[in-house]
Amino acid sequence: MNVLIVRGNPRKTGFTQYLVNRFVVGLREVGAQVTDVDITADEFSLKPCLGCYYCWLVKPGQCVHHDPMEKLLPVILNADVLVCATPVYYFAMSSQLKNFFERTFPLTGEGLVTSRMGILRNRLREPAKWSNKKFISITVGALRARDAYEPINQTFRLIADTLDMELGGQLIRTESHQLPFKLSKPITLKRVESAFHNAGREAGLTGRLSAKTVADAELPLSPDENYFRTYANIFWEHAAAMNSKSTNSSRLQAEVGASPDILMREMARCIDPKATARLRAVLEFHFPDLPRHYQLVVNQGACELKFTAAASPDLRVTCTTDIWVALFTRQLNVPAALRQGVIKIEGDKGIFTKLDRYFPPPPV
């Protein structure tokens, strides 16, 4: 399968890049011939369409501009699958990707024909090159509301239709800034990452994405709007603290991945009301490396998180952040941590041994 990927994401350390890279791994695994084009790269700078109709009226099939699009037009024509990736900017694709589509105008011509969707569209100069072509869109945005992605998805559907391509599938990743939140939804994040990987495999084999892959790619990352707002704020707090000009997704993965703020919020959220139905206790967590205190106030099935030290907690856990993250993610077990002396337990040790039951891992 001959696959052309058009990357319309200007930020090369961002989440679109991260997800598209996984897609490309899948493509290559199944032996697809991949042409991977970054239309936002300086060397690929495309002039904007002037709407002059030179390509229809003066030199049919040729643009008035002479730039890298000249070489790309035949690659588009010969691809079996066209994959376009973009971040969401104001409910739409990036301007670079929009410009790319405008610059495909020389491949069309005057004279209307009816599209698959029943819309009168411009004729294609080489119709046989299009009718078996599949189109896949990859869209990455920060917002959570799924409706906010409908305009861009609809635009892609209409573009596929007007160029007589079969819609092979549309991948949407909402809440992009929560992709580094490994501690909040480890299983979901794995499924999301696998979905982009699988999507690449499916695209490379058939040009069509399965319903499961599409659904997994857009699994929600925050349980509700309140969590979404809280986690968005945590993201920007970390991003600002990194003090770099742009937010680097892999650095954020490392930094936010070990955030005790997220860890403690997730513990409070994951309380098992049945297991704690009879428990009234104040659990204090002290991370001297920050230094910061947290309290989980457990009251018969409910849990409140406080950001202060407790006067006389029933249980006090003291360790560095990375040790607590390692315990939470099961990379280190409790007996080993106690043996190594990297964790200090004071108060009711019975509560400590039941923490796993009281706060089971986050749901999918």
| In the complex, least distance from residue 97 CB atom to ligand FMN, rounded to whole angstroms | 12
Tell me if 181 sits within 8 A of 221, measured CB to CB.
yes
Near ligand FMN by CB under 6 A: residue from 4, 88, 172, 217: 88
Q: Which of residues 11-50 bind ligand FMN (CB under 6 A)?
A: 11, 14-17
Q: Which is nearer to ligand FMN, 11 or 292 (CB)?
A: 11
The residue count for binding ligand FMN (CB under 6 A) is 17
- How many angstroms separate the Cα of 101 from the Cα of each of 16, 70, 89, 105, 128? 19, 13, 16, 7, 19
Tell me if 269 sits within 8 A of 231, measured CB to CB.
no
Tokens of 296: 């989980």
Q: List helix spans (H) across the chain.
A: 15-29, 54-57, 69-78, 95-102, 150-162, 186-205, 211-217, 225-242, 249-257, 260-269, 321-328, 334-340, 349-353, 355-358
91 forms part of the interface with ligand FMN (CB under 6 A): yes
Pick the piece of the chain touching ligand FMN (CB under 6 A) from 59-67, 84-92, 210-218, 291-299: 84-92
Pick the piece of the chain touching ligand FMN (CB under 6 A) from 69-77, 83-91, 204-212, 299-307: 83-91
User: Is beta strand 81-87 parallel, antiparallel or unpaired with respect to 134-140?
Assistant: parallel
Near ligand FMN by CB under 6 A: residue from 54, 56, 89, 105: 89
156 forms part of the interface with ligand FMN (CB under 6 A): no
Interaxial angle between packed helices 186-205 and 15-29, expressed in degrees from 0 to 180 and rounded to the nearest 10: 50
141 forms part of the interface with ligand FMN (CB under 6 A): yes
- How many angstroms separate the Cα of 294 from the Cα of each of 67, 183, 307, 309? 58, 17, 5, 6
| In the complex, least distance from residue 90 CB atom to ligand FMN, rounded to whole angstroms | 5
Near ligand FMN by CB under 6 A: residue from 87, 106, 180, 313: 87
147 forms part of the interface with ligand FMN (CB under 6 A): no
83 forms part of the interface with ligand FMN (CB under 6 A): no
Residues 6+ away with beta carbon under 8 Å from 240: none
| CA 147 – CA 211 distance, rounded (Å) | 19
Closest to 61 in 3D by CA, of 80, 76, 81, 46: 76
Near ligand FMN by CB under 6 A: residue from 43, 90, 241, 341: 90
| In the complex, least distance from residue 179 CB atom to ligand FMN, rounded to whole angstroms | 8
Near ligand FMN by CB under 6 A: residue from 96, 108, 137, 176: 176
Pick the piece of the chain touching ligand FMN (CB under 6 A) from 111-119, 136-144, 200-208, 274-282: 136-144
Closest to 85 in 3D by CA, of 161, 190, 216, 176: 176
Near ligand FMN by CB under 6 A: residue from 140, 267, 268, 315: 140
In the complex, the residues that contact ligand FMN under the rule CB under 6 A are 9, 11, 14-17, 87-91, 140-143, 148, 176
